[in-house]
Amino acid sequence: MLQRLKRAEMTPRRVKALYYLVMRIPMRINGMIYRAFRHPTAPVRVHFGPGKKRYLEGWINLDANFITAKIDLWANLLDPLPFRDSSVELFYSFHVIEHLPDAYLPQHFKDMYRCLKPGGGVRVGGPDVGNACRKYLEGDLDWFSDFPDRRESIGGRFTNFVFCQGEHLTALSHSYLRELAQEAGFTDIRFCIPSRESDLIGPEVMAMEEESDLSCPHSIVMEARKPLHPTRTPSGSDERRPDPRPGGAHGPNPHTLSRPGAPRLAGTQGAGPRRVPYLGAPWPEA
Ligand SMILES: C[S@@+](CC[C@H](N)C(=O)[O-])C[C@H]1O[C@@H](n2cnc3c(N)ncnc32)[C@H](O)[C@@H]1O
Total domains in the fold of the chain = 1
Q: Domain for residue 249, yes or no? A: no
The C-alpha atoms of residue 179 and residue 159 are separated, in whole angstroms, by 25
* Nearest atom, ligand 1, residue 51 CA: 27
Q: Domain for residue 284, yes or no? A: no
Q: What is the CATH number of the domain that holds 19?
A: 3.40.50.150
pLDDT of 88: 98
Q: Domain for residue 141, yes or no? A: yes
Q: Tens-of-pLDDT digits for all 286 residues of the chain?
A: 455 555 556 778 888 899 999 999 999 999 999 999 998 989 999 999 999 889 999 999 999 999 888 999 999 999 999 999 999 999 999 999 999 999 999 999 999 999 999 999 999 999 999 999 999 999 999 999 999 999 999 999 999 999 999 999 999 999 999 999 999 999 999 999 999 999 999 999 999 999 999 999 999 999 999 999 987 654 444 333 444 444 444 445 444 444 444 444 333 333 333 333 322 233 444 4
**Alpha carbon of 95 to ligand 1 centroid (Å):** 7
> Which pTM was predicted?
0.82
Residues with CB under 6 A from ligand 1: 49-51, 54, 63-65, 69, 76-78, 94-96, 99-100
Residue 38: give the domain boundaries.
2-234
Q: Domain for residue 140, yes or no? A: yes
* Nearest atom, ligand 1, residue 76 CA: 20
Q: Domain for residue 265, yes or no? A: no
**Alpha carbon of 74 to ligand 1 centroid (Å):** 12
The C-alpha atoms of residue 6 and residue 164 are separated, in whole angstroms, by 13
Candidate of 24, 52, 94, 96 to mutate for ligand 1, largest count of ligand atoms within 8 Å of Cβ = 96
Name the residue with the closest Cα to ligand 1, atom 24.
49
Bridge partners, residue 46, by sequence: 60, 91
pLDDT of 278: 28
* Nearest atom, ligand 1, residue 53 CA: 9
Q: Domain for residue 264, yes or no? A: no
